[in-house]
Chain A
Amino acid sequence: MVEVDENRRFPDLLVSAFDVHATLVVDKELENYIASPNKKTKVNIGPSQKEMFEKTIGALFSNTSKVTDKKDVTSDTLGLIITPKVQELQTAIPKDSKLNVYEVWIKYQFDISDNKGNPIADWFMPAYGKTPTSFLRSKEKALELATAMALRDAAANISMTFHRIPEVSRWLEKNDINRVDHDG
């Protein structure tokens, strides 16, 4: 089983936040997600991706909360509800790809709605991580590192492109929501 090292610190994000409340929905499936990209490999990304989403959404919006079910959102003030889901996780190892790198792809799907439950966007986002082959490094350790890199890439992708999703961009503009600088 490949498991992202829990001692691996996920860094705080240095991004300006949008001045609006966002609710992150982390259900049991996301928190305990174990991918089986092939018969021989299992990759546990649940706890690590939960931390990644909490830090990323926490940095991207000025106020955030977390629920385990979208139905638990009771506020009907202005805000977003973001429900991420893993669509697929794939791995490639040098033996198969003939490249000197271990690779991990994660495909996420985001259900984005407003606080009243009105759908805003359905967004698919890829994340990718790779790590070089190295003398005495096991396949598990290499895939662990590539998975950690893929989760960092996911955070980078969300923080750089979330507001550029056309429907989200229109919603932010319509509600006159701008970025505010803070020190995280």
Chain B
Amino acid sequence: MARLTFLLIVLALGACSSTTSVDEIRQSADPLAIEDGDTLVLLGRHDAGHYVTDTNFVNCVAGRMEGIDKLGILEEPLFVDELFPWFEPRTAPKTLKRMKRILSEPLVAKKIEELNLKYLVWMDGHTENIDQAGSLSCAVGVGGAGCFGLLSWNKLSFYEAVVWNLAKMKEEGRVRVDSEGTNYVLGALVPIPLLTQSKGDACIGMGKQLRQFFETES
């Protein structure tokens, strides 16, 4: 029994990894221009019908963008509140044409200038669980308690980032990250979760790729 459990754990751990692919379109291979004090903000899209771009994911990528020379990163909630109500799900610009229209509002233009905002990165996507299989049951009896079985499901993360340059009013590029991995919960008396980090991997992939828009690859 112990050997079988050990074998199952080794097999599950081996399979418990995620596959991540990153695709990118850029207008230029050169790093984007940054002047001292320029800022960037990453905003999640919230206008899709059946999901909301995860704030934690946006924060995770924003964290990975920290430390780029001369470029400040603005926090999403702070930015959205400062520009309220222009970046709400109902009002947020979906195109650069609309962004230009919003910037023609004197109060908005003044605020963007105060914040030194040069780059705006839109993040759209989510993580979902699919293909659940197997079963796990737990029971409590006079002699003790235990869980038996094997439950598995796939975790699929897909996110796209679009980089807008507000000084030039142009799109500088896009990054798409897809990450998929299988999660397991193994019932061997106690439930043993073996979880993949597909969202975490997507964040790492996205952050790394976006940084390359602003930094020379070393």
What residues of chain A have their CB less than 8 Å away from a CB belonging to chain B?
A: 9, 11-16, 99-101, 130-132, 149, 152-153, 155-157, 159-160, 181, 183-184
Q: List, in ascending order, chain B residues with CB within 8 A of A156's CB.
A: 84-85, 88, 90-91
Q: Which of B46, B50, B83, B85 contacts A160 (CB 8 A)?
A: B85
Report the separation of the CA atoms of residues A16 and B83 in the bound assembly, to the nearest whole angstrom: 13
State whether the Cβ of B14 lies closer than 8 Å to any Cβ in chain A: no
Q: Which of A11, A14, A184 contacts B108 (CB 8 A)?
A: A14
Are B107 and A152 interface neighbours, CB within 8 A?
no
Report the separation of the CA atoms of residues A184 and B84 in the bound assembly, to the nearest whole angstrom: 12
Q: Which 7 pairs across A and B sit closest by C-beta, in order of nearness?
A: A156-B85, A11-B84, A11-B81, A156-B88, A132-B52, A99-B50, A14-B107
Interface centre among A16, A132, A183 (most CB of B within 10 A): A132
Are B52 and A155 interface neighbours, CB within 8 A?
no
Are A100 and B85 interface neighbours, CB within 8 A?
no
Report the separation of the CA atoms of residues A5 and B182 in the bound assembly, to the nearest whole angstrom: 38
Q: How far, in Å, is A7 (CB) from chain B's closest CB?
A: 14
Q: List, in ascending order, chain B residues with CB within 8 A of A184's CB.
A: 107
State whether the Cβ of B153 lies closer than 8 Å to any Cβ in chain A: no
Are B52 and A152 interface neighbours, CB within 8 A?
no
Q: List, in ascending order, chain A residues with CB within 8 A of B126's CB.
A: 100, 132
Q: List, in ascending order, chain A residues with CB within 8 A of B81's CB.
A: 9, 11
Report the separation of the CA atoms of residues A152 and B52 in the bound assembly, to the nearest whole angstrom: 16
Are A159 and B50 interface neighbours, CB within 8 A?
no
A14/B52 contact (C-beta < 8 A), A160-B91, A181-B107, A183-B107 known: no
